[in-house]
Structure 1
């Protein structure tokens, strides 16, 4: 999975591959399926993977998909906050532009 791929698409594709393997005769238990999927995720999901292992979580594939979508949503919120902070930090503060006099205002107000 690349960082730009939606996690939902990736997990559904992985689930399809796992189902195909079972149809072909492979016997892969649920925990191993989860581990395979977690190993296929990019580094941005490393903290999720660590929490999963440390807290001895037990997800079905559907539950894993839901949890990963929540985490992905948090990534997007976090990146939007960082972008907003960068934009607001790049704006000049306390400076006001002085209006230029046009030819018509010079004639009315004088030199």
Structure 2
């Protein structure tokens, strides 16, 4: 699935391919068809796919299309919420005073004199 493509378009296209296979004499079961559609989804649906498989949800392809459309619309709504993070003591700090070099009263030897 190409990023930015509506999930409904992708799933309808995959259902069309599955129906074409059935017309050609190679019907695949509902479970395999669901797995093929799930594998074609982008990574943003990975949590949905995991939840779907863990709960062993049995839905028809049209019900799956409806569920994915709902999930996509919820993700679009949640994506636009700004987040403000407040951290303690992260504001402007006073500049530190520069440390003076320590001589310890010793003179530096001249390298060029012999």
What TM-score range do you get, normalising by the shorter chain? 0.7 to 0.9
1:81 aligned counterpart, secondary structure: coil
Q: Partners in 1 of 2:74 and 2:19 — Cα distance?
A: 29
Q: What is the aligned length?
A: 84
Task: Calculate the TM-score normalised by the size of structure 1.
Answer: 0.72
Deviations 1:58-106 (A, max 9, x none): 0100100000001101110011113xx47xxxxxxxxxxxxxxxxxxxx
Gaps of 5+ in 2: 85-114
Aligned to 1:109: none
Does residue 12 in structure 1 map to residue 12 in structure 2? Answer: yes
Which is helix-richer, 1 or 2?
A: 1
Higher relative contact order (CA 8 A, sep 6+): 1
Larger Rg: 2
Q: Find the counterpart in structure 2 of residue 21 from structure 1.
A: 21
Q: Compute the displacement of 1:27 (Å).
A: 2.0
Once the two structures are superposed, residues 5-49 of structure 1 have per-residue CA deviations (whole angstroms, 9 ceiling, x without a partner) of 001111110010100011001120000000000000000000010
TM-score normalised to the size of structure 2? 0.70
Q: Map of 1:1-111 to 2, 5 A cutoff?
A: 1-82=1-82, 85=83
